[in-house]
Structure 1
Amino acid sequence: MNPPWSGRRGRTGCGDRGQIVLVAAAVVAVAFLSMTLAYAQLGYDADRTGAGAVEVASVSEVDRRLTGSLRAAAREARRGGDTPTWQDRRPIARRVAASLDADGDRLERVHAGESRSVVIELDSAAAARWARERCPDGPGRAFGPCRAIDGVVVQERADETAVVAAAFRIRIVSPAESTTATVVPRVVPTLNRSRPAS
């Protein structure tokens, strides 16, 4: 029989306490590992959907709305008493550009409430490039030259001014990322035919 002061009983008590501490540490480690894995999975899903699909969809949505605005402005330009002649191309293009600017401002305000900033501007350089490289032509089309005026592309057709396209620079900034794109909506898509760059 061991006396109460013998070292054997003291070592057994310390061993029990040590095992309890080790078990507690293992439980905490397992719980911490589970929380870390759950957090990593949630972060991955949010990054994947936020960085790619959301911004691409936003550019296509803005492009679709700008296409509708361009077609409405082109119809409005042909309304009125007189048919716009080719000599009237500058005031016609500027009137269409003013209408597109107003619609762009409305779209910017709509997106401002969706945790993203959208800036839409007519792009004169892109419009000039499109007019030079993609002006509608081809067999059976007695069309004249295209001209880019304030970001709007017009074409001479039987001495009349036809609005055919407009170029926009779109910048979208959200908490996930920023996206910049140039889009060129067309009034009548089937009339566009690629022409080799000069």
Structure 2
Amino acid sequence: MRRGQLVLVAAALVAVALAPVVLSYLQLGYHGDVRATADYDDPTTDARRVLDRAVATAQSGVAGEYSWSRRADAVARVRSELEPRLDRLRTSRVVSGTVHAVTYNGTVAEAWRTVHCPGGPDRQFGACVVDRGVVVQARTGRTHVVGVGFDLTTTTPRGETNVTVFVRPVGDRHERS
């Protein structure tokens, strides 16, 4: 019986000791990571989603439509189809104080091509080429858009965020060689 009473007293002491900690936590309203809360809207993440959709849409209009010898025309069409979407992204949230600057990045596109489009006799598809930030690949003699490199700068009242991204069309996410 004495041991049971001792355990009960110890439990009561622990509960009394933790009560101020719990009350303090509830009163302070601590948020470990503001970006993790549902009410924080990350404009860079939103812009990245816009780029994902824009590249997928632009790529779908070009997929297999151009011969490999006309790949420069395919890249021009992709960039032409992307431009209105990029313009909307650049101006979409100016009123709320958010500005997106988007430019093509041929360096990140070339880095991606070097790693993911190796040469050699065992590759499944043809060569990859970077043209004005767009990576295209020869597949059965036709031009396919593999991805686009971008620099994205987001400026908000909270500060500025710079990211470099390589966006692959949704239907082309698995690795190609």
TM-score when scaled to structure 1? Answer: 0.63
Is residue 63–residue 145 contact of structure 2 (8 Å, CA) maintained in 1? no
For the structure 1 residues 169 and 114, does the alpha-carbon distance in structure 2 shift closer, same or farther, using more than 3 Å as the test?
A: same
- Correspondence 1:1-198 to 2 at 5 A: 49=34, 57-78=42-63, 83-135=65-117, 142-187=124-169, 188-192=171-175
Q: Secondary structure at the match of 2:100?
A: strand
Q: Which of 1 and 2 has greater Rg?
A: 1
- Structure 1: 4+ residue segments shifted above 4 A: none
Instruction: For residue 116 of structure 1, report the CA deviation from its aligned partner.
Output: 1.4
Q: Distance in 1 between matches of 2:129 and 2:96?
A: 37
RMSD: 3.0
Structure 2 distance, partners of 1:105, 1:73, is 14
**Distance (whole Å) between structure 1 residues aligned to residue 157 and residue 173 of structure 2:** 38
- SS of structure 2 residue aligned to 1:162: strand
Query: Could you tell me which amino acid in structure 2 is paired with residue 166 of structure 1?
Result: V
SS at match of 2:127: strand
Report the residue type matching 2:48 in the other structure. D
* Identity across the alignment (%): 26
1:177 is aligned with what amino acid? G
Secondary structure, aligned partner of 2:61: helix
1:72 Cα deviation (Å)?
1.0
- Structure 2 runs not aligned, ≥5 long: 1-27
CA deviation digits over 1:69-126, x for unaligned, max 9? 11111111248xxx41110111101110122122111111112122111101111111
Instruction: Specify which structure has the higher proportion of helix.
Output: 1
SS at match of 1:112: coil
Aligned residues: 145
Normalised to the residue count of structure 2, the TM-score between the two structures is 0.70
| C-alpha distance in structure 1 between counterparts of 2:63 and 2:168, whole Å | 16
Unaligned runs of 5+ in 1: 1-40
